[in-house]
């Protein structure tokens, strides 16, 4: 009977050790998951901060360039709205239209002007 009791004690002891090992492995896995989650969260925060800084820098650069280019755009608009510029553009368009009409309808078929 004592050998059965010793055997039962050994089985119980092995069972308790196995449960303890399983608990330790579970806790180690949980700690590893928490560490990985924390590292991932920090990485995401760093990427977000970097994106915010880059966006802010790009916005500032755009504002700076916009301020520098605005007078040039206004000057070009003023130049293109002058009556002399409008007349020149009108002349170019009319001339191009006359050349196209001539080439399409008036020029001889064996002419070097073709469309």
Least confident segment among 14-18, 66-70, 73-77, 107-111: 107-111
pLDDT, average across residues 27-44: 89
pLDDT given at position 92: 95
Supply the mean pLDDT for the chain: 87
> Where are the alpha helices (H) located in 1-115, listed in sequence order?
2-80, 83-101
Categorize the per-residue pLDDT at 8 as very low, low, confident or very high, splitting at 50, 70 and 90.
confident
pLDDT given at position 114: 66
Q: What is the pLDDT of residues 97-112, one digit of tens each?
A: 999 998 888 887 777 7
Q: What is the pLDDT of residues 40-65, one digit of tens each?
A: 889 899 988 899 999 999 999 988 88
Q: Is the pLDDT of residue 115 over 70?
A: no
Q: Tell me the C-alpha to C-alpha distance, in Å, between residue 24 and each of 15, 18, 20, 31.
A: 14, 10, 6, 10
pLDDT given at position 90: 93
Categorize the per-residue pLDDT at 1 as very low, low, confident or very high, splitting at 50, 70 and 90.
low
Task: Please classify residue 20 by burial: count the beta carbons closer than 10 Å to its beta carbon, then call 0-12 exposed, 13-18 middle and 19+ buried.
Answer: exposed
pLDDT given at position 5: 82
């Amino acid at each position: 009977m004592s050998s059965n009791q010793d055997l039962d004690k050994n089985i119980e002891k092995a069972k308790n050790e196995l449960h303890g090992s399983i608990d330790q492995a579970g806790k180690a896995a949980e700690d590893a998951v928490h560490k990985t989650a924390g590292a991932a969260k920090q990485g995401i925060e760093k990427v977000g901060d970097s994106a915010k800084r880059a966006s802010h820098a790009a916005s500032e650069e755009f504002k700076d360039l916009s301020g520098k280019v605005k007078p040039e755009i206004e000057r070009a608009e003023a130049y293109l709205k002058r009556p002399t510029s409008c007349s020149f553009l009108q002349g170019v368009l009319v001339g191009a239209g006359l050349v196209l009409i001539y080439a399409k309808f008036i020029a001889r078929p064996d002419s070097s002007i073709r469309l």
